[in-house]
Amino acid sequence: MADDDKRTLPGEEEEVDYLFQARMSLFKWFTRNWKGFAAIAGVVLVAALAYNVYDSVTTNRAKEGAAAIHAVDSKMPKIEPMARMGILPIDDLNDANRVANLEEGARRYEAAAQATGGSSAAEAWLKAAETHERLGKPDLAKAAYENALGAYDKGLFGFGARTALAGIALEAGDPAAALEHYRTLHEREDGLLAEQALIYQASVYKQMEDQAQLQATYDAFLERFPSSPRAAEFDRYGLVATMPALPAPTEG
């Protein structure tokens, strides 16, 4: 009876053997390919680690850049309310101490821009450009605006840099370069930024006395932003919206 007790029920022995064999086959297959699994796992872990390091470095650089910009802001010569209203000059460039502070501020903004990246760098370059403008140094201002675009050319930062460069181009008698900046803006952006770029573009065509392009800009504005209240900006040009021609009636 002892031998009978050790016997399995019909079919049970085969099931146990099959399960054991399957486990052994899986084990053998894994032992043959474990290096491949280890390599894949290693690649995944390295990629995850690299991303975490990159994300951490990028975040830290952005925070450090913002802190550096704020530190320069706090030491910049302030613009008085009367100067903001255009009643007084923004800066007295005969004041040697004020000029020295502005020059130091421009250097510090540029250093902050070079120490960070992305939108933080663009903001620092824009502030450096504005400071160079306050100092009456248009060439340095233009270079800083271009650097801002190189760092981050989207949203408000890109809009600020491109409109400033367009203004510089207009002052230099190069409306084509200004129009290219405005065209880039309204093609890339949406909403208010695109609307304003089209409005600026229209003003350039008006200065150029190019009535056809002025009308085309107005039509493009209405087609893209038919409900915008800012379409009233075009009223000063005496334009009338061009309506598409109706299809010819068909016979029968």
How do residues 69-125 score in pLDDT, each as one tens digit? 989 888 899 888 888 888 888 999 999 999 999 999 999 999 999 999 999 999 999
Q: Residue 173: is its pLDDT beyond 90?
A: yes
pLDDT band for position 249 (50/70/90)?
low
Q: What is the pLDDT of residue 66?
A: 81
Better-predicted residue by pLDDT, 51 or 138: 138
Asked whether the beta carbons of 174 and 197 are under 8 A apart, the reply is: no
R_g of the chain, CA atoms, integer Å: 34
d(CA 230, CA 195): 8
Output the pTM of the full model.
0.69
Q: What is the mean pLDDT of the segment spanning 177-190?
A: 96
Whole-number Å distance between alpha carbons of 174 and 191: 27
Closest CA to 142 of 175, 179, 170: 170
Distance (Å) of CA 79 to CA 73, 114, 134, 201? 12, 26, 10, 30
pLDDT band for 35, please (50, 70, 90 cuts).
low
